[in-house]
Structure 1
Amino acid sequence: MTIWLGKEPLVLASQSKARQMLLTNAGIAFESDPADIDERAIQVSSGLSAPGEIAKLLAREKAKSVSMRHPTQLVIGADQTLALGTRIFNKPTGRAQAADQLRVLAGHRHELHAAVAVVRDGKLLFEQVSIARMSMRPLRDADIENYLNAAGPAVTSSVGAYQLEGLGVHLFEQVEGDHFTILGLPLLPLCAFLRAQHLLAI
């Protein structure tokens, strides 16, 4: 069941299954066309250090890149950064880096900054950043190894080496923030924008 009123579907500039699931469950018609940009190069060249600003920049650049392939359609870009104090984390490149990240995060509270940007014909129409604060419980090396064994390759698919909606829930003792921010798409402000554009039936 869709509540989408647009003549054309949205375009999601992401291959994230979590983001696709959120839009599907919200009844928003979309098609997926992942952006192909060098995120790390863009981040470094920007000179930005604030995690929320980095997330906004990357969400914008993803949406703008894909927008060129979909004239007239609304394109959604999204990005998420993880910050522990002043240190910013990226997706781990393998199991060893995932283990290193979990050792650093264990016993501490970190922040997830999730950004969404909406672009049409290369022009930015809307952007928003939401924050979730995640308190990871202390972990022994054996806990980390057991988690990595159980989670498998999925640990490299998200920043921080965990998916809270899956086995990653066992790593935490407290979570502050909405479910959508944690999954990497600030859905409530996005829906408010789409509603203001008369694109949703509800």
Structure 2
Amino acid sequence: MLILASSSATRKALLDKAGLPFIAQPAAIDERALETGALDAGGDGRDVALLLARHKAEAVSALHPGALVIGADQTLALGLELLHKPIDRPDAEAQLDHLRGKTHRLHAAVTLVRNGELIWSDIQTAELTMRDFSPEERDIVLDLEGEAALHSVGGYRLEGPSIRLFETVAGDYFTILGLPLLPLLAALRDIAPELLSPQARS
């Protein structure tokens, strides 16, 4: 059994389109407490993403002995500062204004855990630069995005109208969406090749 320790619609869609048989179960962990602990210990955005991905997978693994559990997480780093999903429209506006004209990094981590043991992990980074857009451009994009902007770190979706706000993007597309899919598929070919067989989804 393959389990995705997440409720993310984007991650679920990526696995489904890749033809993987899986179920999704969100992990009950205190993400902000774990993040604070990692940062207080001198960690950065990459460390936080890996830590959260591992803890998510371990939490779900404890409930499903024998299952292979995917944990994934993504952080947005503007220098040493980490941004999170906006809580409302004004917060999304403020986050986009904060990112305007600057380069930030998205760190996406993915882990595989079985019986509480971490058996594989990977992290990828993408670098994105926003245009010096106007408040009017920002508002048009947020109007088009609607509630979706509140479900994405930084208040934007590169796969949606938010693409209008960017100047350059360097990095893997799946990393930007929050799941390093190609490294994950390579790991599954080694660890559980049966999951990629035609019979796996029947």
TM-score over 0.5 for the alignment?
A: yes
Q: Select the residue among 106, 130, 133 that pairs with 2:100.
A: 106
For 2:94, the aligned partner's letter is D
**Aligned mates of 1:156, 1:123 — CA distance in 2:** 33
Q: Select the residue among 172, 175, 179 that pairs with 1:178.
A: 172
**Aligned mates of 1:49, 1:144 — CA distance in 2:** 32
Shift of 1:45: 2.2
Residues 1-202 of structure 1: matches in 2 within 5 Å?
8=1, 10-46=2-38, 47=40, 48-197=42-191, 198-199=193-194, 200-201=196-197
TM-score under structure 1 length normalisation: 0.92
**Aligned mates of 1:142, 1:50 — CA distance in 2:** 33
SS at 1:155's partner residue? helix
Shift of 1:173: 1.7
**Aligned mates of 1:38, 1:93 — CA distance in 2:** 17
Q: Which digits, 9 at most, give the CA deviation of each residue in 1:48-101, with x for residues without a partner?
A: 431111000000011011111111000001000001111111111111111111
Shift of 1:127: 0.7
SS at 1:71's partner residue? coil
Shift of 1:121: 1.1
**Aligned mates of 2:59, 2:15 — CA distance in 1:** 20
Q: Which consecutive residues of structure 2, in runs of 5 or more, have no partner in the other structure? A: none
- The aligned length equals 194
SS at 2:28's partner residue? coil
SS at 2:35's partner residue? helix
Shift of 1:42: 1.1
Hey, what does 1:4 align to over in structure 2? Answer: none
SS at 2:47's partner residue? helix
**Aligned mates of 2:132, 2:153 — CA distance in 1:** 19
Structure having the larger proportion of residues in helix: 2
**Aligned mates of 1:72, 1:167 — CA distance in 2:** 41
**Aligned mates of 1:113, 1:50 — CA distance in 2:** 10
**Aligned mates of 2:147, 2:68 — CA distance in 1:** 33
For 1:78, the aligned partner's letter is A
Identity %: 48
